[in-house]
Structure 1
Amino acid sequence: MSKFYITEPTYLTVTEDGTLNPWGIFDNCTHLGCTFPWNNNEAQFQCPCHGSRYDAKGVVLRGPAPLPLKLAHVNVEGEYIRISPWTENDPRTGEKPWWV
């Protein structure tokens, strides 16, 4: 069995029912790879370097970022949270992810 290691910072989000979302969002802007914070007042991820904005699902709201944020699988297994690469169709678009 191959092992995958996620080494990029990843946001984990909580759904309305209090469980973890089945996907995590990588904290790397698709413009130039900057890391960015979540702006709770505007309910969006905001890259401070060049002004890209993403919604809570990582979809581009404003460029210069050309692509949505990468996703990772999030699985709760007992006391552990396991994060693994997302290689299936992107649930936001229904299409093959750009990062695969």
Structure 2
Amino acid sequence: GDEIFAFVKNKAKDGNFYWVFANVSASFDANGNIINYYSVRRAPNRKSISIIEEVYKILLEKEKKSGINAGVSALMDIVSSYKMTYNELIFNLQENN
């Protein structure tokens, strides 16, 4: 149920792909159960897309070869290489790159 910010690759009706910068958060009922998700999307920082595309390519290769856990591990390695947290890196790419 944690909120996440991410660059998301979407597929348009015409088959082309496009990137968005998304914020996704859960909505909860009175008992604390997730009942829905709320997503706000905005234009990504175009200067960061080439970096995100390279990361995405690496993650897809890892996941195809060794499964989703390998992709998650690769993402954490990439984030660590920047000496930032995931959120710091994502916000830095969106705001400053």
The structure with the larger Rg is 2
> What TM-score, normalized to structure 2?
0.28
> What TM-score, normalized to structure 1?
0.28
Q: Which structure: greater helix fraction?
A: 2
